[in-house]
Structure 1
């Protein structure tokens, strides 16, 4: 019995990993974290690097993000 169940279980895990890796990873992690590119600090860093905002604006907004409201 075990000689049949174990290979089937291995095949099922391989199929799950190949077909739907994202839901499996979320399940293993426990909870879904927001995407890194949606993080306000990352958006602010990109805007500063692109020259959309100056250094003073960058630091002012970063300090606002780090405050606990």
Structure 2
């Protein structure tokens, strides 16, 4: 009986340690995901600004006459 209780206690400690590790890993992944999403938004905004500038430059180019 004592060995079964000892085994159960060891299993409970191992499960708790794994739970805490997974919880910490999850928190890290959520933080990383949030940072990557913010970076993605920033880069998308920069890309949209660059597209708008290129389109404005193209609009200012004189049209070529067909020969």
Q: Identify the structure with the greater helix proportion.
A: 2
Where relative contact order (Cα < 8 A, 6+ residues apart) is larger, the structure is 1
TM-score by length of 1: 0.33
Using structure 2 for the length normalisation, give the TM-score: 0.34
**Structure with max Cα Rg:** 2
